[in-house]
Amino acid sequence: MRVACVQMNTRDDVAANVRVAQESVEVAADQGARLVVLPETWFFKGDAEGIVATAEGPEGPSNRALAAVAARRGVWLLAGSVYEPASGDLVHNASALFDPAGRLRAVYRKIHLFDATTTTAAYRESEEVAPGAAIVTADVDTADGVRVRLGLTICYDLRFPGLYSSLALRGAQVLCVPSAFTAQTGAAHWEVLLRARAIENGCFVVAPNQVGEHLPGRDCYGNSMIVDPWGVVLARLVGGVGVCVADLDLAR
């Protein structure tokens, strides 16, 4: 099965982000991808006020605009994540899977929230985002009808190996990690964590990341990659906006 990671430099213009994402799904489909995976918060990256104001949920207009392209091209789409209204002024960070007919098949809400301080910035995701609770797997199929089970996670989840073990025990073959991993933490930990999750669970890992500056002092690492169960990096996009693809040998 051919899969694609979409690497984006998302800003605070939702309409512009949607256009870039739609074009990227087209590019991935042109390259033969059966499954296209977008990064975390692909539709909006901005300040706290904007996070609440743009929350629209898994079947909101942004995801629907992408799902329409995926349906026209006949591909599975994991739409990274969008913000979904939760309780009070909080939102969920929610990833949505759409099938090749554009139907919503699964939703995962990020469990582990990024509350951390680095030498360059402080991050408090929990000030705007409510954690999810459910561990989510979902089945997709190859072009010839072979079932493939995905394990759904988002970004900071990557640092919690127990979640990935649980997904593998539920039959996941491909672990999806749409992310906005920072430049500083990414340079130190991104690749080693992705390869570790692949090796320890015997799974493929598909990890699209955001890239570049989104807000002053907020930079993402890029280096979207696809890793096989042996820990071999099958595809990587170091910098810039674009798409990387790889064929997953599911018999491995």
State the pLDDT confidence band at 45, using cuts at 50, 70 and 90: very high
Q: Are the CB atoms for 156 and 125 separated by under 8 Å? A: yes
In whole angstroms, give the CA distance from residue 137 to residue 12.
30
Tokens of 18: 């949607």
Spacing of C-alpha 88 from chain mean position = 26
- pLDDT value at 4 more than 90: yes
CB contact set of 49 (below 8 Å; sequence gap of 6+)? none
In whole angstroms, give the CA distance from residue 1 to residue 19.
26
250 phi and psi, to 5 degrees? -70, -5
Instruction: Give me the pLDDT at residue 80, please.
Output: 97
Tens digits of residue pLDDT in 126-146: 999 999 999 999 999 999 999
Q: Are the CB atoms for 228 and 198 separated by under 8 Å? A: yes
DSSP state letters, 80-113: --EEEE-STT-EEEEEEEE-TTS-EEEEEE--S-
Tens digits of residue pLDDT in 16-38: 999 999 999 999 999 999 999 99
Q: Are the CB atoms for 241 and 20 separated by under 8 Å? A: yes
State the pLDDT confidence band at 217, using cuts at 50, 70 and 90: confident
Catalytic residue among 40, 56, 84, 128: 40
In whole angstroms, give the CA distance from residue 69 to residue 36.
11
Q: Which residue carries 């997709």 as its tokens?
A: 140
Structural domains counted in the chain: 1
Residue 233, beta-bridge partner list: 227
The pLDDT > 70 percentage for the chain reads 100
- pLDDT value at 199 more than 90: yes
DSSP state letters, 26-65: HHHHHTT-SEEEPPTTTT----HHHHHHH---TTSHHHHH
Q: Give me the mean pLDDT over the 61-82 stretch.
A: 98
Is residue 110 part of the annotated active site? The answer reads yes
Q: Is residue 138 one of the residues assigned to a domain?
A: yes
Q: Is residue 211 one of the residues assigned to a domain?
A: yes
In whole angstroms, give the CA distance from residue 87 to residue 117.
26
Domain housing 221:
2-247
State the CATH number of the domain containing residue 139: 3.60.110.10
Rounded to 10 degrees, the C-alpha dihedral 184/187/190/191 comes to 180
Q: Is residue 37 one of the residues assigned to a domain?
A: yes
Q: Give me the mean pLDDT over the 206-221 stretch.
A: 94
Q: Is residue 109 one of the residues assigned to a domain?
A: yes
Instruction: Give me the pLDDT at residue 218, please.
Output: 86
Is residue 203 part of the annotated active site? The answer reads no
Instruction: Give me the pLDDT at residue 122, please.
Output: 86
Tens digits of residue pLDDT in 224-246: 999 999 999 999 999 999 999 99
- Extract the runs of DSSP E, i.e. beta strands, from 101-241: 104-109, 115-117, 122-124, 136-141, 147-152, 174-176, 204-207, 211-215, 218-221, 224-227, 233-237
Tokens of 22: 């739609």
Residue of 50, 44, 80, 184 whose CA lies nearest to 122: 184
Q: Give me the mean pLDDT over the 163-170 stretch.
A: 99
- pLDDT value at 214 more than 80: yes
Catalytic residue among 5, 155, 176, 220: 155
- pLDDT value at 219 more than 90: yes
Tens digits of residue pLDDT in 83-115: 999 999 999 999 999 999 999 999 999 999 999
Catalytic residue among 5, 45, 84, 110: 110
Instruction: Give me the pLDDT at residue 84, please.
Output: 98
Q: How many CB atoms lie within 10 A of CB 161?
A: 14
- pLDDT value at 120 more than 90: no
Mean of all residue pLDDT scores within the chain: 97
Is residue 155 part of the annotated active site? The answer reads yes
State the pLDDT confidence band at 184, using cuts at 50, 70 and 90: very high
Q: Is residue 252 one of the residues assigned to a domain?
A: no
State the pLDDT confidence band at 251, using cuts at 50, 70 and 90: confident
Q: Looking only at Cα atoms, what is the longest distance across the chain?
A: 49
In whole angstroms, give the CA distance from residue 43 to residue 39.
9
Q: Is residue 155 one of the residues assigned to a domain?
A: yes
